[in-house]
Structure 1
Amino acid sequence: MKKFACLLLFAIMLNGCDDGDLVPEIINFEEIDPVNCDNTYVLIYKLKEQESLLLQVKAETFAPLEGAPEVGTEEYDITEGGDYKLVYKSYDGVISKSNICDAIRPSFPNVSTEWFAKTGLMEVITTPNVTEPAADGSTKIAGFNHSIYMTNVTYSKPEGDQVGPEFFFGVLTTSTYTSPTVSFAATTARQCSQTQIYNWNSDSSIIIDALDPTLIQNIETTDPRTSTISSTQNKVTYTKYKTASMTADYFCKTPRPTTPEIEETWNALAGGVIEVETTKLDNTTYKHVITLKNIELKNGSLQFKLASTFIFGEITTQQ
């Protein structure tokens, strides 16, 4: 569908009177950003001095109970008695947020005109709000932008139904979801085998499967050993769990336990690099410091970057 923003512009013919009722010639909310009532995301509204444009939606449309909103385009039917409603109102005095959001709303001003959308289509284009890289090169998803378009809206008016023009309702920005912070207090990583290593804390883990076996060797390095992440080798997975109850018993098992329950799983894109520096501690013991470089994590259609140089951890091996 071709997208474009246009004026919500149509004539309102009201009976003029001298009691302060608004008698506008046109409705135009183009320059006003949509907002919501106290982070509930059920009622989205746009206000002018004596006018409001109200959009009522299901709560999970912009703020799902778990996880992130779906990225992409979704369509919803606007109906007078359904889950998605669009209403225009004019008033006989100046209004504020309290006239829209308060449980007990002010008794003044009164509604002069009220138009309900009987039918129509709402299209929502959702994109992640990814921050600019920080000083360490990392990015994060800091909420989502929802661009809202209305088409084929038929309004119920006292003088009869009227089809309004296609118009851009605006962009609603939500911040109920942010990408996880990848951080591990322990510098010591652990090894299940020569090709599987991990680090973890109480509610998250980072695992490298199919590790290039040439990376961990009991030979000191002058220059770090490096190997590139691909779909078959050096597979890096970051996992966030729903409860902070992780223990070491979870790892090195096939299949891995089903508890704690997984909340999110992020996989590293191909192209990043694993770097290992090896030093000899004594005649039989070697320390291997493992660093991830230029890693971008992906979960479905969402992506963010770790710090350009991210310390995975260190392991020790015996000769």
Structure 2
Amino acid sequence: MKKIISLVIFALFINACDDGDLTQENISFDTVKIQKCNSNSLLYKIKENEALIFETSNITFPTETLSQTLDITGSNRVVYRFFNNLVASATICELIPPANPVVTDQWTATGGKIIINTTAVKTNNEADNSSKITGYNHNITFRNITFSKTNGTQVYETFIFGDYVISTTALPFNFTKVLKQCPTSKRLYDKNSSEALILDIDPSLIVNTATPLNTPRTGLISDTKNKLTYRLFSGLLTDDYFCNTTFPATPLVNEEWIAAAGVINASGIIEVTTTANGNAFKHTIVIKKAKLKKGNSDFLLGDNYLYGELLTTN
């Protein structure tokens, strides 16, 4: 009899300990895509009568490859809502949400970390092995996120929110292929009204002597010789910009990409082929397998990128 009474007391004790803090309820949005409100900075996922909402008004989504860690706070909010009926985007995004469906319960994140890993989205051209950046993917994960709910708290050590992709306009690269050269520095450049591809070429590659057939002069891209730089500007670009000792402050540079150092017989190779016509010389410059970088982002110019032609005379 004593054993039976002891078992009953133990069972009652176990039931008494089953409070809200120990009740685990699963949040499952693994197969649901992230959406963004057009009128505000909310990212969200919706599934039938549930919504997972992430407030991002104080978060910058970069246009380069990097990782950032942020705190879940009152301005970087995460909430999980239950509704009494099917939920649509208008319910989440409208300044004055529709009267129905009605929120029946809400979990609010009170702590944790936001991990955002950003990588470039590229399109590849198989014909010439070039690539273009067309967007940036922001992979969002919550670490040690704690939800306060009506019957206690719930903690997820790792909660994957998902991928948020922001499209970007590919760099124009709308060049004439007609090169110009600064008289003193011997810098080469190709430009239009808003962008420039600048090559601080080794002067020994531009010689007024025809090169033998299939034997171009060659050099490697580096920071000291044959430095290759792409710049995109916010104002009108003219020839006056290029031949100064230092570049002018205007027009402002929106983006700058610098070519990675070349590797012998592998990448970042400059080839110059010179043909003669009397006292006139045409130097055709090809850049092979160059990679342009900005921070941790990069793209490829391709196997044989025609930089352009430079005309000189004796």
TM-score when normalising by structure 1: 0.82
SS in 2 for 1:306: strand
Report the structure, 1 or 2, having the larger helix content. 2
What's the Cα RMSD here? 2.4
Residue 254 of structure 2, aligned match among 255, 263, 267: 263
SS in 1 for 2:130: coil
What residue in structure 2 maps to residue 75 of structure 1?
69
Q: C-alpha separation between the residues in 1 aligned to 2:53 and 2:149? A: 16
Q: What are the residue-to-residue correspondences of 1:183-262 with 2, within 5 Å?
A: 183-184=174-175, 186-193=176-183, 195-209=186-200, 211-221=201-211, 222-223=213-214, 224-243=216-235, 245-262=236-253
SS in 1 for 2:80: strand
State the one-letter code of the partner of 2:55: Q
Cα distance change of structure 1 residues 255 and 218 upon mapping to structure 2, 3 Å threshold: same
Q: C-alpha separation between the residues in 2 aligned to 1:165 and 1:232? A: 48
The Cα of 1:135 is off from its aligned counterpart by: 2.1
Alignment partner of 1:299 is 2:294? yes
Q: C-alpha separation between the residues in 2 aligned to 1:60 and 1:190? A: 43
What residue in structure 2 maps to residue 144 of structure 1?
136
The Cα of 1:307 is off from its aligned counterpart by: 3.2
Residue 123 of structure 2, aligned match among 131, 139, 145: 131
Larger Rg: 2
Q: C-alpha separation between the residues in 2 aligned to 1:181 and 1:138? A: 14
The Cα of 1:179 is off from its aligned counterpart by: 4.5
CA contact (8 A) 2:270 2:285 kept: yes
CA contact (8 A) 1:140 1:304 kept: yes
CA contact (8 A) 1:51 1:89 kept: yes
Alignment partner of 1:279 is 2:275? yes
Post-superposition Cα deviations, 1:3-61, rounded to whole Å, max 9, x if no partner, equal xxxxxxxx998xxxxxxxxxxx6432222222212385x11111111111111112642
The Cα of 1:225 is off from its aligned counterpart by: 2.0
What residue in structure 2 maps to residue 94 of structure 1?
86
The Cα of 1:178 is off from its aligned counterpart by: 4.3
Q: What percent identity do the matched residue pairs reach?
A: 38
What residue in structure 2 maps to residue 318 of structure 1?
313
Q: C-alpha separation between the residues in 1 aligned to 2:229 and 2:179? A: 14
SS in 1 for 2:191: strand
Which residues of structure 1 form unaligned runs of 5+? 1-10, 14-24
Post-superposition Cα deviations, 1:158-213, rounded to whole Å, max 9, x if no partner, equal 334443453111121221x34423230x232111147421111111111111x223
What residue in structure 2 maps to residue 55 of structure 1?
54
State the one-letter code of the partner of 1:256: F
State the one-letter code of the partner of 2:33: D
Q: C-alpha separation between the residues in 2 aligned to 1:61 and 1:218? A: 51
TM-score when normalising by structure 2: 0.83
Q: C-alpha separation between the residues in 2 aligned to 1:173 and 1:112? A: 31
What residue in structure 2 maps to residue 20 of structure 1?
none
Cα distance change of structure 1 residues 231 and 248 upon mapping to structure 2, 3 Å threshold: closer
State the one-letter code of the partner of 1:279: T
Post-superposition Cα deviations, 1:288-309, rounded to whole Å, max 9, x if no partner, equal 1222121111111110011322
SS in 2 for 1:33: coil
The Cα of 1:267 is off from its aligned counterpart by: 1.0
